[in-house]
Structure 1
Amino acid sequence: MVLIESTKTVEEILIKNEPKPSLQPETMSAIDGNDSDGFETASEREISDEEDDSKNDTVTSQEEPHQSDKPEKKEEQIELIREGEVIIDQEKAMEEANEAKVEGNNLFVNGLYEEALSKYVLALELVKDFSESIELRSICHLNRGVCFLKLGNYEETIKECTKALELNPTYSKALVRRAEAHEKLEHFEEAVTDLKKILELDPSNDQARKGIRRLEPLAAEKREKMKEEALTKLKEMGNSILGRFGMNLDKFKAVKDPNTGSYSFSYQ
């Protein structure tokens, strides 16, 4: 270790790290603007510290200020490379997902619904974390719903179409397929609701309008049937309780209110 006078140390460091012009405010401003856009570098910070404590400093290596710059630059380069890798991986995943979707479509056309389902699952898995994949995912969920429809699994059709609609609330094709599955399960009320949403999105859709006209009477009939079944169960329950007191519900008359559809009971 060699001991060097503090003034010499500062001058040597300044020679290696900064231009020689005097360090007046105007000159420093120009240097900052050209060299570092106004940001203080690591070497400048070290020089500033040494100038403040120049009387007591001992320098072991004149290259230390230069070495302190290197880790920051390397970290910055690595970060840029990592960002580039993420972009490339995302583009590759989207490309592979689209290929899987196309393969699934080809399998569907050939009636291979189970195999098509697996391709759509692959596509969904590849892009599940990418916000840019919303459209692709909604299509794959719908396509899975159509596969389940062909396989007669209407409950799964409803689930997949619902997932597609969560991603794209205005996806009319998903509403059509879900309405179809609801009808198969005799969920007429729910089917009518989906068809009405289709008309809201596309008032000129005659198929949806015809479906509503066809299904609304079935929905009303099912509602009445469900009410009758509920009343029958209530009557049986009531008779089991009132029978202990020598009474029964046959002496009660139910009258339906035509305005509200509700019932009132009177004892005969």
Structure 2
Amino acid sequence: MSAEEEEKRLAAAEESKQEGNQLYGAGEYEDAVDKYTDALEAAPERAKQRAVYFANRAACHLKLRQFAQAARDCSAAIDLDPTYLKAWLRRCTAYGELDDLDRALADASKIVELDPGNAGAVATVRRLTPIVEERREKMKEEMIGKLKELGNTVLGKFGMSLDNFKAEKDPATGSYSINFKQ
């Protein structure tokens, strides 16, 4: 594509973006999504403005409560510009609304890394960390319970259960030994 053609496409994309901004400001989020999509279709593939178009479309999806689409658009923006703070913020919000707290926490942590003075992100990290750790612990306990159930099913065929075995940790090496008891 020639430089002149690229310039025309970028101008058309910027015009669509401005129209999208006006529609967003007027609360017409679905129409704004269409304009940001037009901007993405018009913009040359290597244009750095594409990250802004994706993030703006994500803002519309958030307003429309279309959180999965918002997260996808933010991911596309972040792929194009890994330091684009608005995209990280919006994706963190989308993941939070989707109850994907592991990813929301990861994004909030990245925001703090990019902007240590971001009080909202710092508060989000503080709020989500214990919740995520508690969920992980609960999942781990559930998994151990399922594994014990499976083990007892298999051992039951031999007239045994996991209660017949005891794991002892060697404090010197940190390894475990399994002892059979009756």
**TM-score bin, normalised by smaller chain:** 0.7 to 0.9
Give the alignment partner of residue 138 of structure 1, picking from 25, 31, 51: 51
Secondary structure, counterpart of 2:82 in structure 1: coil
Secondary structure, counterpart of 1:128 in structure 2: coil
1:251 CA drift (Å): 5.1
Q: Contact 2:71/2:95 (CA < 8 Å) preserved in 1?
A: yes
Instruction: Give TM-score, length-normalised by structure 2.
Output: 0.83
1:267 and 1:148 mapped to 2: Cα distance?
58
Q: For residues 226-245 of structure 1, what are the alpha-carbon distances to aligned partners after superposition, in whole Å with 9 as ceiling and x for unaligned? A: 10121122122112211111
Corresponding letter in the other structure for 2:118:
N
2:11 is the alignment partner of 1:121: no
Q: 1:162 to 1:233 in 2, by over 3 A?
A: same
2:10 is the alignment partner of 1:97: no
Q: Contact 1:97/1:127 (CA < 8 Å) preserved in 2?
A: yes
Q: Contact 2:168/2:177 (CA < 8 Å) preserved in 1?
A: yes
Q: Contact 1:138/1:165 (CA < 8 Å) preserved in 2?
A: yes
1:146 CA drift (Å): 1.8
Corresponding letter in the other structure for 1:94:
L
Corresponding letter in the other structure for 2:41:
E
Stretches of structure 1 that go unaligned for 5 or more consecutive residues are 1-82, 257-262
Stretches of structure 2 that go unaligned for 5 or more consecutive residues are 170-175
1:247 and 1:210 mapped to 2: Cα distance?
50
Q: For residues 94-149 of structure 1, what are the alpha-carbon distances to aligned partners after superposition, in whole Å with 9 as ceiling and x for unaligned? A: 121111111112222333222221111111111133x3x21x21011111222222
2:117 alignment counterpart: 204
2:145 is the alignment partner of 1:229: no
Secondary structure, counterpart of 1:245 in structure 2: coil
Instruction: Give TM-score, length-normalised by structure 1.
Output: 0.58
User: Which fold has the larger relative contact order, with Cα–Cα distance below 8 Å and residues 6 or more apart in sequence?
Assistant: 2
Q: For residues 13-32 of structure 1, what are the alpha-carbon distances to aligned partners after superposition, in whole Å with 9 as ceiling and x for unaligned? A: xxxxxxxxxxxxxxxxxxxx
Larger radius of gyration: 1
Secondary structure, counterpart of 2:99 in structure 1: coil
1:110 alignment counterpart: 26
Identity %: 45
Q: 1:265 to 1:141 in 2, by over 3 A?
A: farther
Secondary structure, counterpart of 1:228 in structure 2: helix
The number of residues matched between the two structures is: 175
2:173 alignment counterpart: none
Corresponding letter in the other structure for 1:169:
P
Q: 1:219 to 1:255 in 2, by over 3 A?
A: farther
2:86 alignment counterpart: 173
1:141 and 1:233 mapped to 2: Cα distance?
42
2:100 is the alignment partner of 1:187: yes
Q: Contact 1:188/1:216 (CA < 8 Å) preserved in 2?
A: no
2:72 is the alignment partner of 1:159: yes
1:265 CA drift (Å): 7.3
